[in-house]
Amino acid sequence: MSPDVKEVKKKLRVATTSLAGCFGCHMSLLDIDERLVPLLDLIELDSSPLTDIKHCGPCDLGLIEGGLCNAENVHKLREFRAHCKILVAVGACAINGGLPAQRNHLDIRECLQTVYLTGLGVERGFIPNDPELPLPLKQVHPLHDVVKIDYFLPGCPPSADAIWQFLTDLIAGRTPKLGHGLIHYD
């Protein structure tokens, strides 16, 4: 393939977001280090914490870290699903609910009361009720509880090498295969 043919090849449009996550998966993406440069030859970013574009437009690929802990997470996820041809659940929280789901055995009403009313050191507290604030869901859910997910990229976070392998496979039109050292360690 001559270099100029490569030039005209359309870049993949990619959106990313962090829902109930810690941005650790995004940090891991950045950890591919100098490979970011060739990656940016292959993709262009749409809505993402890295671009600060607020809403997702038509994309080839959506990467989501974090699970669903509130109403806004659900709206954001549905917006991604509506606009991304391929949607990937990245990391433990997106796949299983992860650390935020530790609250699932607690009553969310009691959580709010403890944090905002009765907790240690709380004075004249009240539970925030501004309509701008998204309400928390009763329990934290993984992404596939609400929409169809095309790929699951496990890890907490998935290593930079795993993310690199996954993206380059997908961009090249191959079914992503992680295998030994990237997902299997024994």
Q: Give the footprint of another protein on this chain (CB under 8 A).
A: 71, 74, 78-79, 81-82, 85, 87, 107-109, 112-113, 127-129, 131-132, 134-139, 141, 145-148, 150
What is the distance between the alpha carbons of residues 93 and 70, in angstroms, rounded to a whole number?
14
Closer to another protein by Cβ: residue 108 or 171:
108
- Which is nearer to another protein, 31 or 79 (by Cβ)? 79
Shortest Å, Cβ 184 to another protein: 17
Contact 148, 81 (CB under 8 A): yes
Running DSSP on this structure, what letter comes out for residue 31?
Answer: T
How far apart CA 84 and CA 80 sit, in angstroms, is 6
CB of 156 to another protein, least distance (A): 19
Q: CB-wise, 24 or 142, nearer to another protein?
A: 142
The distance of closest approach from Cβ of residue 30 to another protein in the complex, given in angstroms and rounded to an integer, is 28
* Buried b / exposed e along 45-59 (16+ C-beta atoms within 10 A): bbbbeeeeeeebeeb
CB of 45 to another protein, least distance (A): 21
Q: What is the CA radius of gyration of the chain?
A: 19
From 178, 172, 175, 158, select the one nearest 32 (Cα to Cα).
Answer: 158
The H-assigned helical ranges of the chain are: 3-8, 24-30, 36-42, 71-83, 91-96, 108-113, 160-171
Residue 96 beta carbon to another protein: minimum distance, rounded to whole angstroms: 11
Which CB, 3 or 131, lies closer to another protein? 131
For another protein, give the closer residue by CB, 31 or 145.
145
